[in-house]
Amino acid sequence: MASITESKITLPSGKTVVTPTGLFIDNKFVPSESGKTFKTINPVTEEEICEVHLASSKDVDIAVASSRKAFEQHWGMKVSPTERGRLVGKLADLMERDAEILAELETLDNGKPLSVARDFDIADSVACLRYFAGWADKIAGQTIPVPDANTFAFTRHEPIGVCAQIIPWNYPIMMWAWKTAPALAAGCTVIMKPSELTPLTALKLCELLVEAGFPPGVLNCLPSTGPVGGAALSEHMEVDKIAFTGSTITGRKIMEAAAKSNLKKVTLELGGKSPNIVFPSADLDKAAEVVSAGIMSNMGQDCTAGSRCFVHASIYDEFMKKLTAQVEAFSKAVGDPIKEETQGGPLVSEGQRDKVWGYIESGIQEQATVVTGGTKWKGKGWYIVPTILGNATKDMKIVREEIFGPVLAVCKFETEEEVIQMANDTTYGLAAGLQSNDHKQIIRVSSALKAGTVWINTFGGLFNQVPFGGFKMSGMGRELGAYAISEYTAVKAVHWNFAE
């Protein structure tokens, strides 16, 4: 019989699995101090999956104390970089071994297609862990020549300490890997707060941490809400760094709390309203595929989603026919996420579904043209019919605000200068795309776009070796690559007068 900190869950395939539902502190699953729980819901059936313990500020204090003890006694500078790399690599092996179960749990809790969760999200997460496992024993400082011949100066890159990590619901496992891998490799301890909408895989991964051999307290996991657990971590005086992926509004609150408490280091990966520009020289068939995938991937629930498409007026009609065909083909593959052929599932929650539908209604009211979609889903589940709204203009809400759903606003442009201005006319700056075969134009436009990532004749692909992050109100700091390691280390300068 399942205990109060675990639940027997039936996966979409019909298999049953015992899943942790308690807080994970000191390598044990425990109930919350208050005994409060929250429900996690299946977005396909709209039914309860299980109840999960809700961490309070008191639980945060306990977890932070555990993480501090682990950092000072048996992690951080107390364990060799080689051993840290070995453990992170072992965790990757275990995640790969359990990929099918993790994928089904992700599909159950989030609604994304099983094939996407298994073959993309989890496969990339395994690769991310392995990449940063390799970094663990390669974090090095410098020896620096100085004018004093009797002084030896060098730097050390030391782990920051206790790191709180708040991850979103759109890529639960992948964001878990992006955050934990560089932190653990650098020698930091981690307090993970998964989204209250999708906590199950984060808790399941904690079992693998124990199996891999991580010491108690190196990673603690606290399912909670933002105003409770997230706020407590952000303002905690014993948390040395906080990393957050989510909305710009919440990012502001976290930055404010960090400043008002102990000036902890902050990394923010926030919202986006990414432009995708189609020039006349582009291969229009390929461009239509890229633009469709750029907005429909993960049902548009992606901070980099190419939700604004700018098409040159001379090719607008021709391109729109090709784009519509791509999106309508995708729409036919939206459905039951357990089926291998499914490419799109429901949105994560009823609230998210209603929010996105509100944007579609707004676009129609503001006189955008419904090219395809624009109707409500018939049947159960929090689905949205993939939608293209054409003849959009810069003042429309669908062009100005992040929608976070499978809704594309398409605008016309006449000149290169005009479209650069239109693309940059946003408070966000996370990503951008351009489709062109004019090499000089590619250099000009990619240089002019104000975004942390620019894709050329593609859209959305990321690599663990390449930094990712935003300009403007899309955040600060970088995930992935060598840059991510620097987000979890502090540079110490040492001056040694060896003549004395």
Annotated catalytic sites, by residue?
A: 269, 303
Q: Which residues pair with 9 in a beta bridge?
A: 17
Q: Which residues pair with 163 in a beta bridge?
A: 190, 241
What's the longest Cα–Cα distance across the chain?
A: 82
Structure tokens at 390: 């054409």
Distant-in-sequence, close-in-space partners of 65: CB < 8 Å, separation ≥ 6: 238
Contact 478, 469 (CB under 8 A): yes
Distant-in-sequence, close-in-space partners of 41: CB < 8 Å, separation ≥ 6: 47, 48, 49, 197, 349
Listed in sequence order, the DSSP H helices in 333-438 are: 350-365, 397-400, 416-424
Residue written as token pair 């965790």: 91
Enter the DSSP assignment of 136.
Answer: G
Helix (H, G, I), strand (E, B) or coil at 165: strand
Phi and psi at 119, nearest 5°, equal -85, -20
C-alpha distances in Å from residue 217, one per residue of 59, 63, 88, 249: 13, 8, 15, 31
Contact 238, 71 (CB under 8 A): no
HSE-CB at 410 with a 13 A cutoff on CA atoms is: 25
Contact 102, 373 (CB under 8 A): no
Buried b (16+ CB within 10 A) or exposed e, 33-72: beeebeebbbbbeeeebbebbbbbbebbebbbbbbbbbbe
